[in-house]
Amino acid sequence: MVAVKLILRGTLASEEDRQRFLAEATAAAQLDHPNIVPIYEVGDHNGQLFFSMPVIAGKTLAERLAEGPMAGREAARLVMEVATGIDFAHQRGIVHRDLKPANILIDPQGVPHVSDFGLAKRLAGGTSLTRTGAVLGTPSYMAPEQASGNLGEIGPACDVYSLGTILYALTTGRPPFQGPSAVDTVLMLLDQEPLPPRLLNRNADRELEMIILRCLQKPPDLRYRSAAALADDLAAYLSGNPIAARRGHLSHIWGRLSRETHHAAVLENWGLLWMWHAVVLLAICLVTNAMVLNRDRWPVLQSPLPYLLLWGGALSVWAPTFWRLRYRAGPVTSVERRIAHAWGASIISVMLLFVVESILGLPVLKLAPVLGLMGGSVFVVKAGILNGSFYLYALALFATSLVMAWMERAGIEYSITVFGLVSAAAYFLPGWKYYRRYYLQAEKAKRN
């Protein structure tokens, strides 16, 4: 008795469909492991491609999951065995890329068997059947790098993430992200962090939760280094030994602080706009400094009104222009809206600075060093959400505020120009980086 799998569209299948089907058969046929469904025969019957496999009596893990969450130890054992089989595939240069409960068969002895290598990718050699920008997999169980369509980053870490989603689902009764549609699920995956399993199942074990959350780290290098490492940690959990997920938390925190996050992809839509913003900001600061230098000649410039008109007028024109240009690149994400709120708050703070100085009876721009603190605070927010390198720009702006304070005390009236140069660089340099990345990826997509 064998199970026979047929190509979906039979004799009407396109050449790409046939190649993908054969790729699945070829990938699985190389794998001889007790936790992977083997391939017996690959054939073509009157134009109908097929391959045969052993019949696995029992049910899929999806059918078992429909009955409700599993006990922690049972879930850990199943995923440990699956991880062992997946590591076997990885060692032979094959990444599954579509691990989910429906692709795992449970035999009557409770042994899991991984099937359906339809999206399998070779780590070395072979011909790619995908293109850059394609999103392949099942949204609720795919890794963020798959959801973003960045195929260059797809590797064993994707399967480690998927194993974490399966363990999460077995523990809580649902995957980490589950929206009303596939698009909603992908957006949740890219934009949100999963709820800790114990919020959904108060009986979930803390140690197992730590293993799950280690798998579900969005930066691939913060997950387990391999499926074997995950299997080893699950074995340690089952035997009552200390788990590796408890170790290295400080390094993980530092890793999160210092690296580019998965949200940083949105900056590719902002690269050119940030460069223009740098030009606008520098121009405003230079004009402002010129006004400061001439306020003894023109007494009107000793009033905060001209500065309010300059900053308020220029920014009231530039801000909506900025957003109109951004909308042309596609829908604005929730992450971009958060960044925009921080940016907008800094603009309002700058304008109110002139009002505060007037209320306190201080000369115009006497509190100019505060501008560096405002700009630095905005970049701290950006660093936490987008890219850890922005902490350097934040530090530069904080240091600028100290330099500006010294210049004000020494009577050097060029502090606003210094602020303009540093803040313009803080926008222009990352803007140029992400602008170049956007066009390099666009050129690569055209070539593919």
Catalytic site positions: 98
Q: Give me the helix-helix angle, 334-360 and 304-327, nearest 10°.
A: 180
Amino acid code (one letter) for 210? M
Backbone phi, psi, residue 104, to 5°: -120, 120
Q: What are phi and psi of 219, to 5 degrees?
A: -65, 125
DSSP string spanning 272-311? HHHHHHHHHHHHHHHHHHHHHHTTTTSGGGGSHHHHHHHH
Please say whether the beta carbons of 258 and 388 come within 8 A: yes
Cα dihedral angle (95, 100, 102, 104), rounded to 10 degrees?
60
Question: CB of 156 within 8 A of CB of 90?
Answer: yes
Tokens of 393: 């720009």
Positive or negative, the Cα torsion across 356, 359, 362, 365?
Answer: positive
State the residue for tokens 């290098």. Answer: 221
Residues shown for the chain: 448
Three-state SS for 434?
helix
Residue 32, classed as helix, strand or coil, is: coil
**CA-based angle 114:115:116, to the nearest 5?**
140
Q: How many CA atoms lie within 13 A of 323 on its CB side?
A: 14
User: 177: helix, coil or strand?
Assistant: coil
**Phi, psi (5° rounding) for residue 415?**
-65, -35
Reported in sequence order, the residue ranges of 11-55 that DSSP labels E, i.e. its strands, are 41-45, 48-54
Instruction: Return the axis-axis angle of helices 156-172 and 206-215, rounded to nearest 10°.
Output: 150
